[in-house]
Amino acid sequence: MRRLFEGRDPQLVLFDLDGTLVDSVPDLAQAVDRMLAALGRPQAGVDRVRNWVGNGAAVLVQRALTGALETGNGRPPASDEVFDKAYGLFLEFYAEATADQSRLYPGVRECLDGLAARGIVLGVATNKPMRFTTPMLEGFGLSHHFSVVLGGDSLPTRKPDPAMLLSAIEQCGASPCTTLMVGDSSNDVKAARAAGCPVAAVPYGYNHGVAIEDSCPDLLVQRLDQLL
């Protein structure tokens, strides 16, 4: 990590949440399948949902309704009426079980403890809505590590737009060149590039079946504690 900052520690490290700190797919898939069942539709299952996550709750619901990563190819987007009903159901079901089956990835606690011990400011920049982000961080006992937490509804735009990263950097009194973004998807890499930040990536997360190496992050680590 230090080689990205001329041998020094970064001032600020921003983490994505889903697919980077937490494997949240089991709970997301349960909420999606309950939503689909309530609408009288076939359930999707964990494997398909794993390929759909990463762009926020609204996009996940739309993908579940169309049964595809992208609309098109004979799969029109759901009508506003159907989407609104489905989205409300999803939010209700996911709020009931946000972190029942989710788990931290190996090395997460060691990474956060180690970075904090070196005086590095930590933050979260996720497309996950704040109503789910806050209880998830609290449930895993991670909230105290983070000086700033921004979710998918904190600003008008989400990643890959850089606004979330730039806002977090400003709030922490850092600068893009002294900030490291850590994520698992091309959206994280694109947001970091647009913000002017170096970016590290993990290969185990959610990137729609595409190897994260194809996005050319500045650093690839197999576990987050390899950042230490």
**Domain residue ranges in the chain:** 2-24+102-227, 25-96
Q: Which active-site residues does the annotation give?
A: 16
What is the pLDDT averaged over residues 110-120? 98
- Whole-model pTM: value is 0.91
Work out the mean pLDDT of the chain and round it to a whole number.
94
214 is in an annotated binding site: no
Percentage of the chain modeled with pLDDT above 90: 88
**Residue 194 scores a pLDDT above 90:** yes
What is the pLDDT averaged over residues 187-194? 98
59/144: higher pLDDT: 144
Angle at 129 between CA 89 and CA 56, to 5 degrees: 80
pLDDT at 76: 53
What is the pLDDT averaged over residues 92-121? 97
Q: Of 111, 133, 160, 126, whose CA–CA distance to 1 is shortest? A: 111
79/78: higher pLDDT: 79
Report CA-CA distances (Å) from 202 to 15, 28, 73, 78, 97: 11, 20, 31, 33, 26
Q: Give the number of residues written for the chain.
A: 228
What is the pLDDT averaged over residues 129-157? 96
Report CA-CA distances (Å) from 143 to 90, 137, 147: 25, 5, 9
Specify the CATH number for 25-96; select among 1.10.150.240, 3.40.1440.60, 1.10.3720.10, 1.10.10.410. 1.10.150.240
What is the pLDDT averaged over residues 128-135? 94
184 is in an annotated binding site: yes
d(CA 173, CA 168): 9
Q: Of 139, 142, 140, whose CA–CA distance to 15 is shortest? A: 142
Topology annotation, domain 2-24+102-227: Rossmann fold (3.40.50)
**Residue 77 scores a pLDDT above 70:** no
pLDDT at 70: 67
Confidence band, pLDDT 50/70/90 cuts, at residue 80: confident
- The alpha carbon of residue 219 and the mean position of all alpha carbons in its chain are separated, in whole angstroms, by 18
18 is in an annotated binding site: yes
* Same fold yes or no, 2-24+102-227 and 25-96: no
SS3 for 95?
A: helix
pLDDT tens digits, one per residue of 2-35: 999 999 999 999 999 999 999 999 999 999 999 9
